Amino acid sequence: MNQKHSQTAILLFAQTAQVDATRKSIADVSVMNVLNKKVLDTIRYTGYDYYHFTENEQRGETFASRFTNSIQDVFEFGYESVICLGNDTPLLTVNLITQAAAHLQHGHAVKGKSYDGGLYLIGLNRSHFDSQKFQNLPWQTASLAVAFHQYIDDQNGNLLVLQSLQDIDSTTDLLHFLAGKDTSVKIIRLLLNTLSQKRTQHKHFSLKELQVLLLQPANKGSPRLKAA
């Protein structure tokens, strides 16, 4: 255990690439492998203790129960605060995680809002965590960010809000991300190279060609590029 950060742990709540690609309708498992590696590298660089709960470690019948139980498990390991992350926000940075940890150390709760109304980061101290009320939040809906704010108010907590980021829950989201103006050159290159290696021998794509590649099923031969 890292003694410097022994009171705070990071929970990466993310299924394996194979399962996530199916659940999120992402074009290729290899994309989820890139996203998983990106978030794990970012987490490790923070130096905080972390736990990755895949479908093998999660307990419960619903997303809400599995997520709540996972947070409860991390608190039961002896930590006073938990930073919860997923694998679907490529622009998540070490700085955002350390900001969240600093706010938690001052007794605040933290949220990082996704553009679609969800949350890419949740930071909770033990005093903020009411398992039943937390589980009853409108998970996987566009109203989650607002409802979480109200939840923290009901817990008499003070909520700090980080910058909003885009998450990737579908192939359409992936296309929007790759076409965005604020995306990291490095992560785009990783994603494009991954798709290139999996689907065609060509090394360069127009955005229209990329749309065709992403939206059609993978096959053993090189796909035919059609005008989008």
| Reported pTM | 0.82
Give one DSSP letter per residue of 134-202, joined into a string.
Answer: HHTS-TTSTTHHHHHHHHHHHTT--EEEEEEE----SHHHHHHHHH-SS--HHHHHHHHHHHHHHH-S-
Give 181 or 75, the one with higher predicted confidence: 75
pLDDT at 17: 87
186-206 pLDDT tens trace: 676 666 666 655 554 444 444
Nearest CA among 115, 127, 122, 125 for reference residue 137: 122
Give 69 or 30, the one with higher predicted confidence: 69
DSSP assigned state of 86: -
Nearest CA among 119, 57, 59 for reference residue 88: 119
Geometric angle at alpha carbon 145, from 144 and 147, rounded to 5°? 60
Q: Which domains does the chain have, with CATH numbers?
A: 3-165 (3.90.550.10), 171-215 (no CATH)
Mean pLDDT across the chain: 82
Residue 141 predicted with pLDDT over 50: yes
Could you give the CA distance from residue 26 to residue 49 in angstroms, rounded to a whole number?
A: 29
